[in-house]
Amino acid sequence: MDNKHISQQFNEELEDVKNKVMTMGGLVETNVQNAIIALVEGNIELGERVVNEDFKVNALEVSIDEQCMQIIARRQPTASDLRLIMMIVKTITDIERIGDEAEKIARMAIELADMERPKDQYREIQHLGDHVRKMLHDSLDAFARTDIEAALHCAAEDAKIDAEYEAAVRQMITLMMEDTRNVRRVLNTLWSARALERIGDHAKNICEYVIYMVKGRDVRHTTIEQMQQEALGK
Amino acid sequence: MDNKHISQQFNEELEDVKNKVMTMGGLVETNVQNAIIALVEGNIELGERVVNEDFKVNALEVSIDEQCMQIIARRQPTASDLRLIMMIVKTITDIERIGDEAEKIARMAIELADMERPKDQYREIQHLGDHVRKMLHDSLDAFARTDIEAALHCAAEDAKIDAEYEAAVRQMITLMMEDTRNVRRVLNTLWSARALERIGDHAKNICEYVIYMVKGRDVRHTTIEQMQQEALGK
């Protein structure tokens, strides 16, 4: 085989792995969405579906890991190709953990379904959930298109989500203080908000891997401003 | 250079990376310990030290990642050597996140220091903290010695930690219900317990990577019983 042929095969293998990551990401997006709906609507059946679907996400993580190792061993990639594979290995760890958070929300939803509904119909969770879902979608999109500007834009959302989460926590504390009979329900709602906030963290990690892959610089553990400077070469 | 020489150099490089991982692990162990002491003793200064030390952990993660990539690109390892490197790449992600959890506990400690001390002097946190610290230490030890039996033993501790955490949460809920003036303090204590429980999760992940590296089978997402069977080849 000539080099061109080998390189074409290599690119096809990489595309195949990337597609699998997107499948995994899509599964997790659906699970996050369903977990939020299950919680807000008190839908036990939907909550159970999310809990039962998580094994598919886990299986994909294991299989993609294995495939990445095989590509490294067989193709011995260097520089940007190797960086892409390492990015995938790190990304799927975060996607898998987003799946775990969705499962946790679904379990909370099942517990909450039997309790009295709050007057505001979990408005805070809905609001935070919508924002987090958009951020997750955008991070996977930035990954798929290896779009550094989109990744930067998306990573910056995490601070807003953190602020919304903090506001939601303050409101929930007030609810607990008003009436101790609320404690159990509010606490489950709090854990769910916490899980959403963590999904935002994982989405931010995915964005950072994208920037890392494209620029070859490690932008983790830097501020958003530093990240923008690094990524845009300013 | 003959093959033996190259292979010796390669082994030295791997040892060097493993030593760096152990340094990173040691830093994180200290931070977890100090964060717990800061919380239990209301020691703001110690809490701030933990918060200020976390950047060292982050810097080590970035540097080890880079070193692993260089080794793969230069040495083109296959089979078990490649698996060792991938294990390191995954392990340091978990160690770094343990560091983040320690930082969170330290921030809670700083907030809690200004509040009234609970009568039990955070006995639950102390108890859970001791257990989690031991588990973290054992997981790093299993990693250093690539000891599969130790890894299995350590991974099994996570279920006990989860049970202790659940018991602590139930007790804290009771405290909140008894007196709503406790809500803020108890909630901060709850977040800290949650952070400890997550450190247990990360330590379990490290154990699973050790087993994976030694056996070449992916034991993630399996039960402890399956893991034992896989690892011991029963």
- Give the C-alpha separation, A16 to A64, whole Å: 10
CB contact under 8 A, A55 and B83: no
CB B47 within 8 A of CB B106: yes
> In terms of residues, how long is chain A?
234
pLDDT-derived band at A51, boundaries 50, 70, 90: very high
Which among B66, B82, B220 has the least Cβ separation from residue A72? B82
CB A80 within 8 A of CB A216: yes
Is B187 within 8 Å of chain A by CB? yes
Which among A89, A184, A194 has the least Cβ separation from residue B86? A89
CB contact under 8 A, B180 and A184: no
Is A198 within 8 Å of chain B by CB? no
Chain B nearest-CA residue for A84: B69
| Alpha-carbon separation of residue B32 from B94, B110, B137 (angstroms) | 14, 14, 11
Q: Which of B60, B33, B22 is nearest to B206 (CA)?
A: B22
Is B3 within 8 Å of chain A by CB? no
To probe the interface with B, which of A58, A60, A62, A171 has the most B CB atoms within 10 Å?
A62
- Give the C-alpha separation, A12 to A71, whole Å: 11
Asked if pLDDT for residue A191 goes beyond 70, the answer is yes
- Give the C-alpha separation, B95 to B83, whole Å: 18
Is B52 within 8 Å of chain A by CB? no
Q: What is the pLDDT of residue A142?
A: 96
Contacts B59 to A, Cβ<8 Å: 221
Q: Which of A109, A183, A104 is nearest to B171 (CA)?
A: A183
- Number of domains making up chain B: 1
pLDDT tens for the 234 residues of chain B, in order = 567 777 888 889 999 999 999 999 999 999 999 999 999 999 999 999 999 999 999 999 989 999 999 999 888 887 788 888 999 999 999 999 999 999 999 999 999 999 888 877 789 899 999 999 999 999 999 999 999 999 999 999 999 999 999 899 888 888 888 887 888 888 889 889 999 999 999 999 999 999 888 776 666 666 777 767 766 665
CB contact under 8 A, A82 and B76: no
Domain range enclosing B108 = 3-232
**CATH code of the domain containing A47:** 1.20.58.220
Q: Which of A184, A169, A170 is nearest to A118 (CA)?
A: A184
> In terms of residues, how long is chain B?
234
What number is the ipTM of this complex? 0.77
Chain A nearest C-alpha distance from B57 (Å): 10
Lowest-confidence segment of A51-65, A216-230, B70-84, B160-174 by average pLDDT: A216-230
CB A97 within 8 A of CB A61: no
pTM: 0.85
Asked if pLDDT for residue A101 goes beyond 60, the answer is yes
